[in-house]
Amino acid sequence: MESTTLLKIEIILHWLALFVYIGAAVCFVQGVIFKKEKSFSVGTNVFLVGLLPHTLALLVRWFYVYHGPYLSKYEVLSSNAWVTVVMFLFFSHRYPKIRFSGMFLAPFAFFQVAAALFASAAIKRFPSSFKVPWLVAHILFNKLAVGAFLIAIAMMIAYALKSRGSKMPSLSRLPDNEGLDEYIFKFTAFGFCFWTITIAAGAIWAHESWGRYWGWDAVEIWSLITWLLLGGYLHLRLFFGWKGKKGMVVLTVCYVVSILTIFFLPFLVNSLHSEYFK
Amino acid sequence: MLGLFLAVCLCGVLIPQVSNSSASTFASWQAKSPYSYQLVVLLQLNRIFTSYWFLLLVVFLLLAIGISLHGQFKKACSAFNTKPSGKFTPQLTLRAGQFPADALRAAWAKKGYKTEEWNNGSALLLNFYRNRRNVWGSFTFHSGILVIAVASLLTFAYQKQGFVQLIEGDTFSGREAGFLSASKGILAGVFEPAFEIHLNKFSHSYWDTGELKEVKSELTIDRQGSAFQASLVRGQSLSVYGVDIYQSANFGYAVKISLLTDKPGEEAVPTYFSLDMAPAGKPLVGKSDFPTTDYLLDMNFFPDRNGRSLYPVNPFLQVRFLTGEREVGSAVLKPGEEVLVEKSRFRFEEIRPWSGLILTENRFIPLVYGGFLINALGVFMIFLFVPQEIYISAAAEKDGIFTVAVAVRTKVGRKILLDDTIEALHKLLDSETVRG
């Protein structure tokens, strides 16, 4: 089959996934408005249904561009959304209490797919000899970290609404603020673990590829800043007991910087990394 | 210390740095605001990450981590050797109609917990635990940072790196003078790899999108007469006698121009001008003096007259001869053609590709990798293999009811663990919560 035909199929699949994710978000919102608990489990299942065309779309693209989905804004955003949804489904199966955070996570997923669809789907390629295991590790762990951070952010929104005394009935089914605070901490720590591997694997790959493991490149520095900030929060939380609102303020700063680093900076600054995001 | 390091990193991205900004950025800054520019240069804020004060900060960071590690080591040793006493403060009490200890043991064993128990006749205490001996996470994590920082300082002091521009068919002598550019650590000695590199063949290929697919140099490495051949591609290094060789993304074509002479017995003076590769349809450009003459050559080399190919299928050279600012001659030449400039005759002889090779010598890379490994191991030990302990004690009352006291101990997710424990107990014991 020709690559133009495959591109059309892939875009249709992406649009399908987008609409299904919007459907999932509608289910979650319906659960909130009409106080229907069933809507939340329907929303989770709809998410699962949306994952099917999304997975197919990414596989089709992988098949005809000969590399994983990480080389353009289109691929990066779509695969980030995919990992986020997979991680949400996995963790909501393991910890059913966090299932309700899907109402905040669904918009993240469909906004990313939508942004991907409005970006150029043109194929980008890079030297085939770059495809080494360290690059795969660098990208894979980065996506896992992004997924964990987005789940934590979704729960932070729930935490903020709960602490402001929101009357949303669905929020009452979430763990209490202390429990939510611990889930947020857990997902942040989880993301931090993978962010650490991302930096380490990236440094090793850089050394294997062009002879330097750290070049103080803008994206490198920002990812180090993110790591230091998150490390600072985890220290404060573990060793100084900064729980609750005090910890949340620090974490908000951490996530604002993380979002900038992950979603905006590679597209804005001149960096070795940004070549692959444009 | 962490905050200070963070602030420095922020300065590094907010203030233009020599390593990632063009010279014109600094020139226009100097013209606009000479005083602020002078201050920045004086404080080395335009090259923060190689400044002496940044190195000093890293040394202080190392000391702080070292001191912290000392404390963490003592704490971890004491925690490692502490044996559970069976004492705990109940965090929640339940009343249950039954206490099937075996079912409880089986339920937590299924979750990967080990069991320890005490029985004092009137009460049974079950202690479920996992990762209890994992008290070294923080020590391991910070040790990793220490190793990385030490390795980085050693790299900064001793690393040697050089860039070689090698025309197909030519040889790099292995002498420091043969590098086009070199950067060395402050304590590094002369960088002279003990081998010669001969470029046998150089090739570059492209994807259908026009992006670079592969750059390949076929080399002969010769060390005192013992030679072997090797291929070098971008992204995959070659390790030779302690030196790593990388294929650079810089490559192009070298045009050979000779100054011809009519005097019998005198040979032509050939010179190669190495020009950087340009996208399809655009010329490779270069400006250079012609040795032994006063001429400055301003060259535009087109590999393909039709602008379609990046290979020299239909090449020509557009050249202007300048003395100072004045143009004294110009020509469009195909290989083999000549041009007369004033009284000198020049011939465009041939085109050969050139390849950029990066040579580095850094003995501390294994230390850096080791640091990354230790650091990653530590972070997983802290957050993914968290020590968890669950205490459940049951005392039988006179009316056949059991009073069950529960407590959990963990640094990460105490509330979640307690909630999960209570939920599991309610299912197993058919109990009700008395007080939380």
| pLDDT tens-digit map of B107-158 | 999 999 999 988 877 888 999 999 888 889 999 999 999 999 999 999 999 9
Average pLDDT over residues B405-431: 87
Q: Where does the pLDDT of residue A92 fall: very low under 50, low under 70, confident under 90, or very high at 90 and above?
A: confident
Residues of B397-423 as b/e, b for ≥16 C-beta within 10 angstroms? eeeeebbbbbbbbbebbbbbbbbbbbe
Closest CA to A158 of A131, A129, A179, A128: A179
Residues above pLDDT 70, as percent of chain B: 98
| pLDDT bracket for residue A167 (50, 70, 90) | low
pLDDT at A165 over 80: no
The pLDDT, as a whole number, for residue A168 is 65
Domain limits, chain A: 1-124, 127-278
Say if residue B46's pLDDT is above 60: yes
Whether ipTM exceeds 0.85: yes
Tens-place pLDDT, residues A61-90? 999 888 889 888 899 999 999 999 999 999
Residues in chain B: 436
Write down the pLDDT at residue B334. 94
The two tokens of residue A112 are 């990313």
How far A196 CA lies from chain B's nearest CA (Å)?
6
Q: Does A196 touch chain B (CB under 8 A)?
A: yes
Q: Measured between CB atoms, does A141 come within 8 Å of chain B?
A: no
Beta carbons of B425 and B392 less than 8 angstroms apart:
yes
Q: Could you report the per-residue pLDDT of B360-371, keeping only the tens digit for each? A: 999 999 999 999
**The pLDDT of residue A95:** 85
Contact B246 A123 (CB under 8 A): no
Provide the CATH number for the domain formed by B252-353 in this structure: 2.60.200
A231 CA: distance to closest CA in chain B (Å): 9
Structure confidence at residue B261 (pLDDT) = 77
Residue A93's pLDDT is what?
A: 87
What are the structural domain ranges in chain B? 2-74, 84-134+386-435, 157-251+357-370, 252-353
Query: For position B95, what pLDDT does the model report?
Result: 85
Band the pLDDT of B202: cuts 50, 70, 90.
very high
CA distance A225 to A214: 14
Which residues between 262 and 321 in chain B have a beta carbon less than 8 angstroms from any beta carbon of chain A?
Answer: none
CB A246 within 8 Å of CB A193: no
Please give the CATH number for the structural domain made up of B157-251+357-370: 2.60.98
- What confidence score (pLDDT) does residue A201 get? 95
Cβ–Cβ of A193/B384 closer than 8 Å? yes
B302: left (phi over 0), alpha (psi -120 to 50) or beta: beta
Task: Identify whether the C-beta of residue B421 lies closer than 8 Å to the C-beta of residue B406.
Answer: yes
Provide the 3-class DSSP secondary structure of residue B339.
Answer: strand
- The residue of chain B nearest to residue A212, with distances taken between CA atoms, is B360
Q: Which residues of B touch A185 (CB under 8 A)?
A: 412-413
Looking at chain B from residue 205 to 264, which residues have their Cβ under 8 Å from any Cβ of chain A? 207, 209, 211-215, 233-237, 244, 246, 248-249
CATH of B84-134+386-435, picked from 3.30.310.10, 3.30.420.40, 3.40.50.300, 1.10.10.10, is 3.30.310.10
